[in-house]
Chains A and B, each alone.
Chain A
Amino acid sequence: MAGGLLGSMDSGWWPRGSSSFAAEVDGLFFLIAVIVGAWLLLCQAALFFFLWQASGRGGPGRLRGLQIETWSIVTLAVAVLACDLVVEAYGHPIWKLIVSAPRGNALVVQVQARQFVWEIRHPGADGRLATEDDIEVQNELHVPVGVPIELHLRSKDVIHSFFLPTVRLKQDVLPGVEIRRWFLPTRVGRFPLACAELCGFAHYRMGGALIVHDPESYQRWLAAGATAIGGLEQGVRR
């Protein structure tokens, strides 16, 4: 039943990734889940086994082997350390991949946050920002599938956090600094965009959408955007 309930969530309890590094992040998550899950089970089992044993009737259990106990605890702690290092060794390259500069020619999109809007400036048909044909849309990030996107993130007022759950990307946006992050969209569709940092009373309404186009629909969007200055669609929430 629990499975059915969880399955009823729009994309399952674990939202399917839509970027090139989502699979790596998910892999790291499941690696950690397996490791800590095993430790958790081991500890709970030992806890309740000893509890059951200690509540047994009869005379006192043996109180010997206290020295061995200490050594077992230390040995197990060293095993925990080994698991920690596995997680670190597996996870660090993924982090480096996410926060590195994008590979190849990335399409630069500028994201400016303010209470409580994402102002997103897309390059027009020329593929370059800060030119005549830039397309500015509120709360919608339009990108072509399969092209690396570089985001230039900044804030006009407080700290916001640019969050694309299916991309597995989250980056706080600060006043006074420009932060760059990249991703490579791998699936066409409409995905959630949200603000993840408390930024005021309407923090909960600072949502939008990531719209990943196939090449044709992207061209159509560019063409429409070029004629209707300021973006063809009104910023739609979510």
Chain B
Amino acid sequence: MDWNKAFAGEGVEQEVGSSSNTATARLASARGRRPRLWPAWLFSTDHKIIGLQYLGISVVMALVGVFGAYVLRWQLAFPGTPAPLYGIVDPGPYNAWLTMHGTIMMFFVAMPLLLGAFGNYFVPLMVGAEDMAFPRLNMISVWTLGLACLVLMASFLVAEGPAAAGWTNYVPLSADPVYTGVTLGADLWLVAVFLDFAAVLMSGINVLTTALNLRAPGLTLPRVPLFVWTQVIAAVLFLFSAGPLMGAILMLLSDRHLGSGFFAAERGGSPLLWQHLFWFFGHPEVYVILLPALGIFLEIFPTFARRPVAAARVIVVALWTSAALSFVVWAHHMFVSGMSPALALPFSITTIIISVPFAVVVFALIATLRGGMLRPSTAMCFAVGGLASFLIGGVTGIFLGAPAVDMYLHDTYFVVAHFHYTLFPAVVLGGFAGLYYWFPKVTGRMLDERLGKWHCWCTLVAFQAVFLPLFFLGVHGHMRRVYDPSYYDFLRPGIFLHQMATVAAVVLVLSQALVVWNVIRSLRKGEKAPSNPWGGTTLEWATTSPPVPGNFSEPVVVAHEPYHYTDCDRRREPVPQWML
């Protein structure tokens, strides 16, 4: 079978593919002949290359988002003093940075990383397909995301700077320039987010079609790996939830420029409508990010504990249940918004009950270690640390789901700490778990495990030190998005907690040098990776590391469910899905 036909950088790729099967070889030759290969790489429709393009975009955007976090944290800890590498933080730019930090991290880092990079690279591999269902759409998707990033970054260059109404972009604050002093920046924000969503929609359609239609023979739905399930559910969630917010964005642009009044009280509209549309999208969005991260944990746990995932089918049911429930919880963000207080009861019940499916997933992950034979690794370190941290994020959500307590904690640092304890474990810890797990597959090189363990422990400890103090600030009534906490007498005693968090945040950022160094070192002279270095059971381990163009050099047939192990001779051996 001629796999190269399916592989689209066409001529160039074919030529290289025939001389060598490895992506490193391709990259190495790309280095030598950049003028010809660089455009081929850029215009590639190969899901693996597009996955890496998504990864590149999310890393670059993360640098901006993290820098924003640093500016904010500096101002909170040392109000009014010049931040090194930045200078004095003024209230206007402070609001712009808090807006951009949230926007970038949610839409331009978390989604491109977990859906774009991991989803693109591994869904086709794990279902045994040679590429995505619609390779060209895939390329358009990553291009659209690139355009969205340029539009968003352009807002740093326009006269009044970027949008400054928070990542939730509440109206009327965001609707009229008189309130924030931002004109063009606010429009660029709306356009960038719209384009970003269009990109993720295209990518979601691809993931969904690929997982449903391009599965290898024998890969029946019950045999589909859990990571693929989480990607599918995330795609479905995004497809159903993005529309309302994209519509709302167009309505807001129309309010701003065409004189309509969808969200303007004085023109017969409703400011609360924006909040409803935003959070109808916003809560599923959290799961769009969270589920793929849980999917990564669900792959890593069985591989390194060397035993089947506990209650794997119940997990799939639980994930779908959480996805369905996520569409009927949105108003928990609005208990004190001025909507009818009577709505609090139904939304509070659905919100609190959504803890049940997640409890199932968490219990199953924990049970997956029972009777396991642990093979310690950096990927497992991040996965266990991610689960342990996510638990804190999960349980603190219950406080906010109870309206009477939410009335006190809403819009305080308790909320900030809560969602960072859910999103950081998902995006950063989940992302690193996936990186250490799949790096050998992608590059054909092993990462250094000793450096990796140091990186894991530094990241885990520093993360707790950044965000645990914020719970205490929140419980003390500290409002979020406050430029200078020393303005309030009752907040001044808590500033030492801000200082703790800021110092820890700097340590957290600096300790990422460990992974940067590890990756560079491994790419240059890392140990060669075998095709299945960890004893994984899913299909991505069936092919070479890195995968050949077209993914599999011979057709794969799936014989049974994933996460299968046998005990023989006091050793436990994986039984891969493709083993007949």
Contacts and interface: CB of A to CB of B under 8 A. Distances in A.
Contacts of A36: 395-396, 398-399
A172 B310 contact: no
Interface stretch (A42-50, A140-148, A219-227): A42-50
A59 B92 CA distance: 62
Contacts of A165: 408, 477, 490
A194 B407 contact: no
B387 A55 contact: no
B366 A95 contact: no
Interface stretch (B9-17, B42-50, B162-170, B554-562): B162-170
Contact of B490 (A10, A50, A73): A10
Contacts of B318: 77
Contact of B310 (A33, A70, A81): A70
B348 interface: yes
A8 B494 CA distance: 9
B349 A88 contact: yes
Nearest to A45: B366
Nearest to A36: B395
Interface in A10-59: 10-11, 13-15, 24-25, 28-29, 32-33, 35-37, 39-40, 43-44, 46-47, 50-51, 53-55, 59
Interface residues of A, number: 90
Interface stretch (B57-65, B151-159, B197-205, B563-571): B563-571
A203 interface: yes
Contacts of A207: 487-488
Q: Is the interface of B mostly helix, strand, loop or mixed?
A: helix
Nearest to A92: B345
B483 interface: yes
Category for how many chain B residues contact A = 35 or more
Contacts of A152: none
B152 to A, nearest CB: 19
A46 to B, nearest CB: 5
Contact of A77 (B344, B359, B384): B359
A168 interface: yes
A126 interface: no
A70 B493 contact: no
B373 interface: yes
B483 A203 contact: yes
B345 to A, nearest CB: 6
B429 to A, nearest CB: 14
A13 B407 contact: no
A175 B348 contact: no
A238 B308 CA distance: 58
Given A163-B479, A171-B338, A238 B91 contact: no
B340 to A, nearest CB: 9
Interface stretch (A60-68, A105-113, A130-138): A60-68
Contacts of A192: 477, 488-490
A195 B487 CA distance: 12
A24 B475 CA distance: 16
A114 B412 CA distance: 21
Contacts of A70: 310-311, 314
A54 B305 contact: yes
Contact of A10 (B271, B337, B493): B493
Contact of A98 (B310, B370, B407): B407
A60 B571 contact: yes
A76 interface: yes
Contacts of A69: 310-311, 367, 370
Nearest to B401: A87
Interface string B334-364: 0011100100110011001101110110111
Interface string B493-512: 11010000000000000000
Given A5-B496, A60-B572, A204-B483, A73 B314 contact: yes
Contacts of A125: none
Contact of A203 (B307, B376, B482): B482
Contact of B180 (A62, A66, A99, A200): A200
Given A63-B565, A70-B311, A200 B179 contact: yes
A196 B412 contact: yes
B166 to A, nearest CB: 5
Give the most central of B341, B388, B490: most A CB within 10 Å. Answer: B490
Contacts of B402: 28, 32, 87-88, 91, 95
A175 B165 contact: no
A61 B493 CA distance: 52
A60 B488 CA distance: 59
A63 B567 contact: yes
A94 B345 CA distance: 11
Given A198-B170, A198-B173, A176 B369 contact: no
B276 interface: no
Contacts of B362: 43
A141 to B, nearest CB: 15
Contact of B164 (A6, A99, A115, A201): A201
Nearest to B364: A73
A187 interface: no
Interface string B456-481: 00000000000000001001110101
B411 A238 contact: no
A64 B371 CA distance: 8
Give the most central of B308, B318, B337: most A CB within 10 Å. Answer: B337
A195 B496 CA distance: 22
Contacts of A51: 369, 374, 384
B255 interface: no
A129 interface: no
A197 interface: yes
A135 B392 CA distance: 48
Given A159-B172, A196-B412, A11 B272 contact: no
20 contacts: A5-B496, A10-B490, A13-B476, A35-B398, A43-B362, A43-B366, A44-B391, A50-B369, A53-B370, A54-B372, A60-B571, A80-B359, A171-B338, A171-B407, A174-B272, A195-B479, A198-B98, A198-B481, A199-B179, A201-B91
Interface of B: 91-92, 95, 98, 164-166, 170, 172-173, 179-181, 265-266, 271-272, 305, 307-308, 310-311, 314, 318, 336-338, 341, 344-345, 348-349, 352-353, 355-357, 359-360, 362-364, 366-367, 369-374, 376, 384, 387-388, 391-392, 395-396, 398-399, 401-405, 407-408, 410-412, 472, 475-477, 479, 481-485, 487-490, 492-494, 496, 565, 567, 570-572
Given A54-B372, A161-B411, 18 more contacts: A8-B493, A39-B395, A43-B363, A44-B388, A47-B369, A53-B371, A54-B305, A63-B567, A74-B311, A77-B318, A158-B172, A163-B411, A194-B488, A195-B479, A198-B170, A201-B181, A204-B481, A204-B482
Shortest 3 CB-CB contacts between residues of A and residues of B: A176-B265, A165-B477, A50-B369
